[in-house]
Structure 1
Amino acid sequence: MRLEQLEVFVATARCGSISAAARKLGISRPAASAAVKSLEQELDVALLLKGNQGVHLTPAGQLVLEKAAGALALIDEMRNYGRADIKNSVSICSTPLLSLYLTRNIFLPFKKRHPHFDIVISNTYLTDVVRQLETRASCMAVTLTSLGLNIVESAKKLGCEIIPLYTDERKLFMGARHPLAAREYLTAEDLSRLNIALYSTDQEQVSRQYLPYFAGSYRVSNRSDMLDLVVRNEAVFIHPAIQCRHDLRVIKGDVVEKRLRLDSIKHEVPVVAIRLPELTVAERLFWQYLIVNFAKKL
């Protein structure tokens, strides 16, 4: 069965005659007639009845028309994926380490497939994720959802679709040469002898709940300064483990991760993808690629 057969059959049914369908499609009448006839032979059923007033659908023809029209509409939609010459931009927001993972494992492979797409990944504080979606600054987000920020609840009020991606676990990261680096896990007593590195911004939410367990803290403005302290064994930091494994210093082995034994704190970190209810063709295509491929490189 060929696409041309379906196109001619649907056009004939809608135009009411083979001649009119041929004119609409820009082909000869014999070619249109042959396409319909070959489709009937392939399906082994009569689809059209000829009369003085043109052609009419048989009961089988009516059923085939519904399916054929739906198939052609789907094909036309898929063709549009490659067009979008104007609305081919995609904006997505995420936290810094998730943005790093998105860039390497989603953005770059997708960009190779669709070089005409303009994709912007913005680093966003957790407290600003919903605002990014609400103001349409971003059409989708990848974010963790814990810490009592009600991100999922607020996104649902906007009519957003929310897809769980995976569940991370917060772990402690310390220098590979730290005296406690050989431990399988660390207890509250261990933490009481350590300093924790925190981001200086008021938006920092992750490590504050762990702060009372530590001897002291360092306030830094960026992850690079934080990791410098960790590598020199002057401080440790706490972060969702899978996200942090994609940092270069962790990959090189300068920094190692440790489980925490703190019964009063839940270390699980659900990570979700959120999208606005209405997306362009380009945005839908990127969303589908994101959902299918996100967890493959974790």
Structure 2
Amino acid sequence: MRLEQLSYLIAVHESKSISLAAERSHISQPALSSAISKLEDELGVVLLKRTNAGAQLTEMGEQIIVIAKDVLNKVDEIKSIAHGDSIELHGNISMAVDPSINITVMPEILTTFKHDHPKVDTILKVGESNNILRDVQSGKADFGMILKTDAFSKAKDINYKELFSDELVIISGNNCEMTKDSSTMTLKNALSLPILLYNTEYITDCGVSSVLQKYGDINVSYRVDNLEMMEKILSQGKTIAFVPQFMADEYVKSSKIKKIALSDAHLEVTILLIWLNRHHLSLVEKEFIKVIKNVCSKRYK
């Protein structure tokens, strides 16, 4: 029995797919299947069953996976004791983040982590929060950094840490007639204006719209999945957007965009780090979480 066999079994358990587990483990599908088959032969039991819903653990596999995770955790502890702060980590991390996170804290998170652990590669995807939630649930991403949404509140089997809280504000083009000479605006007036939403799928619901719809109908004029396009449309002065304040502060560095506060409402948003309950946190990932928490706490106390 080899440690990588246990690691591959855990990867299949997390992704519910042999092909996706192989991709995430950076080996070929036949090689991963062969490794697990050899483990089954050695143990004399069947660990996986293939169903229409994907690859799933057998009852025996469910019992073994618990011990397998403990074994890998103990191996990580041994490495930490042996090497302390000098341990050289290797591996890959798949991360999906909301655009507000991507243009603000993510550069510092990635560069800090890379400086400390140059042999670890991070694969980053940017997407809308509900889309990221689905990526994490399906095993396509190890972690997500999202706005807390109604969809998240209803999700099952998700671990999370609250990183910090903020509130939604309005951004618009500096030449926008609808917001001219305004530094504040009522929520009612804002909801009556044409609104631009960031969305990475064709579905209509997203994290920001789920917050706004609690206060009435919203007049959505654009849905885009590109921040550069978002800025260009806003600069034309025909629409507004609701974004977290920390993202707005980044946008207003451009001479084309201004920030407008809500005068009569506090639309709180919470930034979360999420991962699957069944996802085994490796030593690499535990170190990555530490960096995320440290950077966020330092910037948004």
TM-score, L = length of structure 1: 0.61
Partner SS state of residue 118, structure 2: coil
Q: Which moved more, 1:169-178 or 1:220-229?
A: 220-229
Deviations 1:97-129 (A, max 9, x none): 312334312002221222211011212332233
Partner SS state of residue 108, structure 1: helix
The structure-2 alpha-carbon separation of the partners of 1:177 and 1:103, relative to structure 1 and needing over 3 Å to count, comes to: same
Q: Which moved more, 1:73-82 or 1:108-117?
A: 73-82
The amino acid across from 1:232 in the alignment is Q
Contact 1:199 1:220 survives alignment (8 Å): yes
Partner SS state of residue 172, structure 2: strand
**How far does residue 258 in structure 1 lie from its aligned partner after superposition?**
1.2
The structure-2 alpha-carbon separation of the partners of 1:191 and 1:293, relative to structure 1 and needing over 3 Å to count, comes to: closer
Q: Which residue of 2 aligns with 1:107?
A: 110
Partner SS state of residue 251, structure 1: coil
**How far does residue 153 in structure 1 lie from its aligned partner after superposition?**
5.3
Partner Cα distance (2:134, 2:291) in 1: 24
The structure-2 alpha-carbon separation of the partners of 1:125 and 1:111, relative to structure 1 and needing over 3 Å to count, comes to: same
The amino acid across from 2:173 in the alignment is G
Q: Which residue of 2 aligns with 1:165?
A: 163
Partner Cα distance (1:138, 1:216) in 2: 29
The 5 A counterparts of 1:1-298 are 75-76=81-82, 78=84, 81-84=87-90, 88-146=91-149, 148-149=150-151, 151-152=152-153, 154=155, 157-158=157-158, 160=159, 162-179=160-177, 180-188=179-187, 190-191=189-190, 194-199=193-198, 201-205=202-206, 206-207=208-209, 209=212, 217-247=221-251, 250-261=252-263, 267-276=267-276, 277-298=279-300
Contact 1:99 1:122 survives alignment (8 Å): no
Q: Which residue of 1 aligns with 2:72?
A: none
The structure-2 alpha-carbon separation of the partners of 1:213 and 1:183, relative to structure 1 and needing over 3 Å to count, comes to: farther
Partner Cα distance (1:199, 1:73) in 2: 43
Partner Cα distance (1:135, 1:214) in 2: 31
Partner SS state of residue 122, structure 1: strand
Contact 1:191 1:215 survives alignment (8 Å): no
| Max Rg structure | 1
Partner Cα distance (1:144, 1:280) in 2: 25
The structure-2 alpha-carbon separation of the partners of 1:132 and 1:214, relative to structure 1 and needing over 3 Å to count, comes to: closer
Percent identity between matched residues is: 18
The gaps in structure 1 that reach 5 residues or longer are 1-70
**How far does residue 142 in structure 1 lie from its aligned partner after superposition?**
1.1
**How far does residue 222 in structure 1 lie from its aligned partner after superposition?**
3.0
Partner Cα distance (2:146, 2:248) in 1: 14
**How far does residue 244 in structure 1 lie from its aligned partner after superposition?**
3.6
Q: Which moved more, 1:137-146 or 1:73-82?
A: 73-82
The structure-2 alpha-carbon separation of the partners of 1:72 and 1:236, relative to structure 1 and needing over 3 Å to count, comes to: closer
Contact 1:99 1:121 survives alignment (8 Å): no
The structure-2 alpha-carbon separation of the partners of 1:81 and 1:272, relative to structure 1 and needing over 3 Å to count, comes to: farther
Deviations 1:36-69 (A, max 9, x none): xxxxxxxxxxxxxxxxxxxxxxxxxxxxxxxxxx
How many equivalent residue pairs? 216
Partner Cα distance (1:220, 1:83) in 2: 38
The structure-2 alpha-carbon separation of the partners of 1:102 and 1:199, relative to structure 1 and needing over 3 Å to count, comes to: closer
TM-score, L = length of structure 2: 0.61
Contact 1:191 1:214 survives alignment (8 Å): no
Partner Cα distance (1:203, 1:234) in 2: 21
The amino acid across from 1:187 in the alignment is T
Contact 1:81 1:281 survives alignment (8 Å): no
Q: Which moved more, 1:90-99 or 1:164-173?
A: 90-99
Partner SS state of residue 246, structure 1: helix
**How far does residue 165 in structure 1 lie from its aligned partner after superposition?**
0.9
The amino acid across from 1:186 in the alignment is M
**How far does residue 278 in structure 1 lie from its aligned partner after superposition?**
1.8
Q: Which residue of 1 aligns with 2:62?
A: none
Q: Which moved more, 1:73-82 or 1:276-285?
A: 73-82
The structure-2 alpha-carbon separation of the partners of 1:229 and 1:135, relative to structure 1 and needing over 3 Å to count, comes to: closer
**How far does residue 143 in structure 1 lie from its aligned partner after superposition?**
1.0
Indicate the RMSD between aligned Cα atoms, in angstroms. 3.2
